[in-house]
Amino acid sequence: MSLRQELLARPGRKVRLAEHDPGNTLGFTDKLAAREELEANVRRLAALQYRLFAEGRRAVLVVFQAMDAGGKDGAIRRVMSGLNPQSCRVTSFKKPSEAELAHDFLWRIHKAVPARGEIGIFNRSHYEDVLVVRVHNLVPKAVWSERYEDINRFEKLLARNDVVLLKFFLHISRKEQRERLLARVEDPERNWKITPEDLEERKYWGDYVRAYEEAIERCSTGHAPWYIIPANHKWFRDLAVSQILVETLEGLKPKFPAPKFDLSKVRVV
């Protein structure tokens, strides 16, 4: 079975994160070999991106979600390092502004969806509206509980309009989070990354687990699948994400468009 098959959250299936080992490497043991494999995938992605852009018919949207210190920034940096910035854009979703809160929760998201030919990467996403919002009761349950349906319909709309969606949950253990937060406290070059909220949010670990389980369970669909990526080992995380991206893009078979006129008669003077 391919990594893509193994890490897919199968649509309609119950999700229990406790059954997914964040330290799993699915039989891969050689970190150096995995790094080489990652580099090969990064090169493949660059070539596929070029075709996708030339074809100009479909967009790709990659969503990253994780607990704090789960590795979203790192995965984006390592896996996307070979992409041409011309047709690729990363959007990080923070606490909504007043203007954003004055609209429906998908308004700011829809504006950031990539155009045909482009690759869009979301660092956090509309899922925050059923994660942090649910955990902290930022809106009543009656409101957030309807959002799963809104999300599924929104993602269906995107899929029908040639946006290929894939969603990665980077799954770390609570212990691994502690170590990463400690490293942020100790390493002067990482101090800037730690916020009082990170320490506060850790207390809600169990609530976040339940919120993630329900989001993945209800919103992993054929047209917008969730993948649960064991992410304690950064080298495996990056290998798995890059591999799934390559497989997905290869499956699209992007084609160079036919020349717009008869090239056999062309003379370049």
Name the residue nearer to ligand AMP (CB basis): 24 or 125.
125
Nearer Cβ to ligand AMP (95/175): 95
> Which residue type does 169 have?
F
Q: Give the torsion through C-alpha atoms of 40, 44, 49, 51, to 10 deg.
A: 160
* CA–CA gap between residue 69 and residue 193 (Å, rounded): 9
Q: Considering the complex, state which of residue 4 and residue 180 has its C-beta at the smaller distance from ligand AMP.
A: 180
Q: How far is the CB of 120 from ligand AMP (least distance, A)?
A: 17
DSSP string, 89-129: EEEE--SPPHHHHTS-TTHHHHHTSPPTT-EEEEES-GGGG
Instruction: Give the residue closest to ligand AMP by C-beta.
Output: 128
Cα–Cα distance, 172 to 43 (Å, whole number): 27
Nearest distance in Å: CB 105, ligand AMP: 7
From the number of C-beta atoms within 10 Å of its C-beta (0-12, 13-18, 19+), residue 236 rates as buried
Query: Nearest 5°: phi and psi at 69?
Result: 65, 20
Q: How far is the CB of 58 from ligand AMP (least distance, A)?
A: 27
Pick 59 or 133: Cβ nearer ligand AMP: 133
CA 248 vs CA 9, 106, 225, 253: distances in Å: 15, 25, 11, 9
Quote the least distance from Cβ 110 to ligand AMP, whole Å. 14
Let me know: does 112 contact 75? Beta carbons within 8 Å. Answer: no
Least separation, in Å, of the C-beta of 132 and ligand AMP? 4
Of 241 and 246, CB closest to ligand AMP: 241
**Residue closer to ligand AMP (CB basis): 28 or 204:** 204
Binding footprint of ligand AMP on the chain (CB under 6 A): 93-96, 124, 128-129, 132-133, 138, 197
Say how far apart CA 187 and CA 178 lie, in whole Å.
14
State which residue, 194 or 241, has the beta carbon closest to ligand AMP: 194
Q: Is 194 helix (H, G, I), strand (E, B) or coil?
A: coil
Min dist CB 20 to ligand AMP, Å, is 22
Angstrom distance (rounded) from CA 72 to CA 257: 34
Q: How far is the CB of 190 from ligand AMP (least distance, A)?
A: 13
